[in-house]
């Protein structure tokens, strides 16, 4: 991947899991309720004249408002990567719309105890395989 600069972007502090080892629990964290001007964010990166590798994390970044549209716009000129627990259903839309050649990596955190508690182990496996099938 040919990029000039890398950024780590903490998109939110919200996570829908409640892992015992985490520094914050889901019941203490609030979902981002504001509006995000996707074009303003994208223009901010584009107007630097550099090609970025933007690493997104949280909390759970897939809960960020309009995340798939944001990633779609960013990957027109830049590269992205992401830390995710794969719990949000919009990972399917992400995999359909985002060019895997523009994604450096997707770090998928299993959090097995929480997944077992919520009966979401198979959900993780299915989403992981879907991403693989789409070239991620």
Q: Tokens 């770090």 belong to which residue?
A: 107
By three-state DSSP, how is residue 105 classified?
strand
Pairwise CA distance, residues 33 & 47, whole Å:
27
pTM: 0.92
Beta bridge partners, 83, equal 107
Distances (CA, A) of 67 to 35, 62, 95, 118, 122: 12, 6, 12, 24, 24
Report the C-alpha gap between 120 and 135 in whole angstroms. Answer: 23
- How confident is the model at residue 30, as a pLDDT? 65
* R_g of the chain, CA atoms, integer Å: 15
CA dist 39 and 110 (Å) reads 32
**What pLDDT does 27 receive?**
61
Q: By C-alpha distance, which of 88, 93, 79 is closest to 108?
A: 88
Local mean pLDDT, 10-residue blocks, the chain (136 residues): 95 86 66 79 97 95 94 98 97 98 97 96 98 98
Distance between CA atoms of residues 30 and 18, nearest Å: 13
């Amino acid at each position: 991947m040919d990029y000039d600069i890398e950024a780590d972007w903490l998109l939110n502090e919200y996570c829908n899991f409640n892992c015992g080892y985490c520094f914050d629990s889901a019941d203490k964290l609030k979902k981002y309720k504001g509006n995000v001007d996707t074009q303003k964010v994208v223009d901010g990166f584009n107007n630097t004249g550099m090609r970025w590798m933007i690493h997104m994390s949280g909390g759970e970044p897939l809960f960020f408002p309009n995340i798939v549209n944001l990633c779609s716009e960013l990957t027109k000129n830049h590269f992205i990567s992401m830390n995710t627990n794969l719990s949000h259903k919009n990972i399917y839309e992400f995999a359909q719309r985002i060019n895997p050649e523009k994604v450096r990596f997707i770090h998928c955190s299993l959090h097995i105890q929480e997944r077992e508690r919520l009966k979401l182990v198979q959900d993780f496996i299915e989403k992981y395989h879907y991403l693989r099938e789409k070239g991620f």
